[in-house]
Amino acid sequence: MILVTGGAGFIGSNFVLDWLAVQDEPVLNLDKLTYAGNLENLAALQGDARHVFVQGDIGDPALVRTLLAKHEPRAVLNFAAESHVDRSIHAPGTFIDTNVVGTFRLLDEVRAYWSELPPAQKEAFRFLHVSTDEVYGSLAPADPAFGEQNRYEPNSPYSASKAASDHMVRAYHHTYGLPVLTTNCSNNYGPFHFPEKLIPLVIVNALAGKPLPVYGDGQQIRDWLYVGDHCSAIRRVLEAGRVGETYNVGGWNEKPNLDIVRTICALLDELRPRADGRRYAEQVAFVKDRPGHDRRYAIDARKIERELGWKPAETFETGIRKTVQWYLAHADWVQRVQSGAYRDWIAQQYAAA
């Protein structure tokens, strides 16, 4: 069995679904079910004995200790995190609580569990920590992409909290010998993405006839990674990654935000034309840029390809088409996740300048 934390969130739920689609090893899924954690993401596993769900907090040492003792996982994969930059600007304390303190408490319980394992199980055990490219800061237009040796220069409370968690994971390896692996990924997109992030927000707002908010001039560049590719990368790192190493996971898809929005609009024009015959791109609305907005991220994913033979299967063109088609086919899912509190948040965050 493996223990997955944050397995009801966007990336975590995709990983659990993908894991059980390709193998039968059971998953113990621990998720706090905050606003972005959604058991409906895992509806396909209802009644599946290979999936054991527990609602709880990685920062609850007694709960984690009990679960480790009872289920004896061979690996822990830590997806649990607060992950939205905008929310971290408004409420940084929550990010410190989950991403820093929560990760520390999880690590400490895992270390205690691991230290008591029989020698063969101890040798085979892994703690895989899922992180972000945002810990590296921002790139100038001509800078090379982020490599694993880049200096950490986080610029938001979110990225600073993830940087702190990465350092804690590293320290537990070097101090205690805990066999850890860390992945730093670029921007994910795909099914079950909570509609506060750029791609799902644009899809949902476009279909609802609402403005499509674009920060500043829309020329912020990100490297886009289809979530299914990210899941396959994590499986590969868990399988064969070198203990103590970091692997950057990217999609080789650097795109300005405005290009992303226009691509989605063009796909919707094709797949779900507006009743009035107008183009979705007419709904684009430029809004005041957020504080400290990083200009460019890009991932150099050559190490994971060189050492582990992994590279993304999707191009941006194939991945974004799959994503738009998924949202068109799952309007009921979108409607249920859009609570009143969520609508209030979007109204506050994307008020026109």
Which of 57, 82, 133, 314 is the catalytic position?
A: 133
Nearest to 207 by CA among 334, 348, 341, 320: 334
As to burial, measured by CB atoms within 10 angstroms (0-12 exposed, 13-18 middle, 19+ buried), residue 322 is middle
What is the rounded distance in angstroms from the CA atom of residue 56 to the CA atom of residue 49?
A: 19
134 in active site: yes
Buried b (16+ CB within 10 A) or exposed e, 8-43: bbbbbbbbbbbbbeeeeebbbbbbbeeebbbeebbe
270 in active site: no
Bridge-partner residues for 286, per DSSP? 214
List the beta strands (DSSP E) in 133-220: 180-185, 187-189, 212-215
Question: How far is the first Cα of the chain from the last one, in angstroms, to the nearest whole number?
Answer: 50
Which of 31, 86, 134, 166 is the catalytic position?
A: 134
Nearest to 353 by CA among 221, 219, 210, 213: 213
Can you say how many angstroms the Cα of residue 255 is from the centroid of all Cα atoms in its chain? 18
297 in active site: no
Which of 158, 247, 297, 350 is the catalytic position?
A: 158
* Contact (CB, 8 A) for 50 and 56: no
What amino acid positions are annotated as catalytic residues? 133-134, 158
